[in-house]
Amino acid sequence: MELKKISEVKFEIEKGAVLGMNTGVTVYSTENMLHKIMQDRTLQQAANAATLPGLAGNVLVMPDGHEGYGFPVGGVAAFDAEDGIISPGMIGFDINCGIRVIKTNLVEKEIRDNAKKLADALFENVPSGVGSKRNTGIGERDLQKVAEEGVGFMIGRGFGRTDDPENLEEKGHMLGADFSKVSREAKARGLNQLGTLGAGNHFLEVQEVEKVFDEGIARAYGLHEGEVVVMVHTGSRGFGHQICSDYLRSLLTYQKEHGITLVDKELSYARIGSREASDYLAAMKCGVNYAFTNRQIITDSIRKSFEQVFGKSSDALGMDILYDVAHNIAKLEEHRVANSRRKVYVHRKGATRAFPKDMGEVPKKYRHIGQPVLIPGSMSTGSYILCGMEGSMSESFGSSCHGSGRVMSRHQALREIPSSKTFGVLKRKNVEIRIKTRKLVSEEAEWAYKSVDEVVGVVEKAGISRIVSRNVPLIVIKG
């Protein structure tokens, strides 16, 4: 597929490269990473998505892009709010998979001196692994409250502080959720998974702020070199996965009933305003609220683990939430498209909202600076905290990358990367690790991913986000 180079970090597939394309595809990448992107179906999937109706502007692929279900992970697409569509596969199975960062006033040496004890406490208090469960004492009526009201309900049950929602996207509560649109199977799967990490690429890391790149923004975020933060990556667990699966099945029937022919059935959709689209959005928002609440309960467990090890209250340890942001979601937003303001449903799949300063959706404390953008890397490299910049609104529908992006499938990584190789690297870097399944060490090895340094360098050069700090792992907790 032919790519036109627009700038050092921007390429375009022009409309017409694939029969039926309604718009072009913009790819943010270096030439080096572009070769990796072209090794799978990422660009083909993005071009396929460009054939869908109601698109507003180009389909986008972020530098961490790789092949996904129907639509690339690292993909962004906006559809007109009146005549566009909603596509569950373009949001993903793990609805509101996202990142939360919790600050502390501890320094690296304090963690090193207590690393084994703290790792043990976190591993015990935050269940992880495939199908991991936890008894939070809630029944189905409570689950409905979680799904429709978000984090506020569980904070009312003692799982957090009253000011925590101020530092969350959507304040941890996406309006319009309707529990009646969620299947019995999804409810059953979600009942005992709140407060759990799960497996795969989900993790909990205690990290040191190794380097600050922008002192002014870092100061506004309360980040300082040498201090310690905690990063959590997880989503809506089996609850969100089942919601996506249910609606993907139902939309296959919708396609037949409406005579819709797709270039890829994984891109099944419903028209905005249809009963099917409205039902999915109401269920998706339940998944969004569930995921915010999942990370909230985990936050409570993290705070209690630190209190247990350091003998101080989480307040005394400075354990405030920096921010929590989704990277698998569809949101109704207003953007400039072709010189006019339009309401669009922005589908972000493995892409993070990156709003700049003066946006009403950004928490008041950051509104003069811009939204924190939280970017994890692999467990033996590093992660980043970025800041949303004005360029994101003209370039990418207010979106940025969400991580480093895979270059190997899990099966390939298992075949080619012995777990001993990663364990050796972690030992040399003095990283304490607790993991349920040894094979994950191969599946999640740094060599299975692109360079997170190169990925964030692209979005900075594109004017989408600014690099604020680079954080390195001290403790890793995985499924």
**pLDDT tens-place string over residues 194-215:** 999 999 999 999 999 999 999 9
Q: What is the DSSP letter of 14?
A: P
168 confidence band (pLDDT: 50, 70, 90):
very high
Partner residues linked to 139 by β-bridges: none
Give per-residue pLDDT as tens, 396-408.
Answer: 999 999 999 999 9
Per-residue pLDDT of 226-237, as tens digits, reads 999 999 999 999
The radius of gyration of the chain's CA atoms, rounded to the nearest angstrom, is 21
Helix axes 140-149, 275-310, angle to 10 degrees: 100
Nearest residue to 327 via CA among 173, 172, 100, 97: 97
Tokens at 285, concatenated: 């928002």
Catalytic annotation on 402? yes
Which pair of structure tokens corresponds to residue 315?
């307040």
Q: 387 pairs with which residues across the strands?
A: 372, 466
For residues 172 and 104, what is the distance between their CA atoms, to the nearest angstrom? 21
The domain that contains 429 carries what CATH number?
3.90.1860.10
Calculate the CA 445 to chain-centre distance. 19
Task: Pick the catalytic residue from 327, 335, 402, 411.
Answer: 402
The torsion of the CA quartet 88, 165, 294, 60, rounded to 10 degrees, works out to: 30
Residues 6+ apart with CB under 8 A from 339: none
Residue 464 has a pLDDT of 98
Name the pLDDT band for 339 (thresholds 50, 70, 90): confident
Cβ contact 29:458 at 8 Å: yes
Beta-carbon-side half-sphere exposure of residue 304 (alpha carbons within 13 Å)? 14
pLDDT tens, position by position, 419-461? 999 999 999 999 999 998 888 999 999 999 999 999 999 999 9
Kindly indicate the confidence band of residue 366, based on its pLDDT and cuts at 50, 70 and 90.
very high
Is the pLDDT reported for residue 479 higher than 90? no
State the total domains in the chain. 1
What are the start-end ranges of the H helices in 105-202?
108-113, 115-125, 140-149, 151-156, 184-190
The yes-or-no verdict on residue 128 having pLDDT over 90 is yes
Distance CA 477, CA 64 (A): 23
pLDDT digits (tens, 9 = 90+) for 1-24: 889 999 999 999 999 888 999 999
The CA-based dihedral angle spanning residues 429, 430, 432, 438, taken in that order and rounded to the nearest 10 degrees: 50
C-alpha to C-alpha distances, 88 to 24, 280, 343, 391, nearest whole angstrom: 21, 8, 19, 27
pLDDT of residue 18: 85
What's the CA gap between 103 and 230, in Å, rounded? 6
Nearest to 287 by CA among 71, 73, 88, 135: 88
The pLDDT, as a whole number, for residue 24 is 98
Chain centroid offset of residue 336 CA: 24
Per the structure, the complete domain to which residue 467 belongs is given by: 4-478
Q: If we measure between CA atoms, which residue out of 190, 199, 170 comes closest to residue 285?
A: 170
- 257's CB contacts (< 8 A; 6+ apart) are none
DSSP three-state, residue 362: coil
Return mean pLDDT, the chain.
Answer: 96
**Looking at residue 438, what is its pLDDT?**
87
Which two three-digit tokens encode residue 10? 């921007």
Please give the model's pTM, rounded to 2 decimal places. Answer: 0.97
Residues in the chain: 479
In terms of Cα–Cα distance, which of 413, 409, 401, 394 is closest to 452?
A: 401
- Residues in contact with 102: Cβ distance below 8 Å, sequence separation at least 6, in sequence order: 229, 230, 232, 299, 302, 303, 319, 320, 321, 322
Has residue 164 got a pLDDT over 90?
yes
Burial category of 242 from C-beta neighbours within 10 Å (exposed 0-12, middle 13-18, buried 19 and up): buried
As a whole number of angstroms, the distance between CA 178 and CA 180 comes to: 5
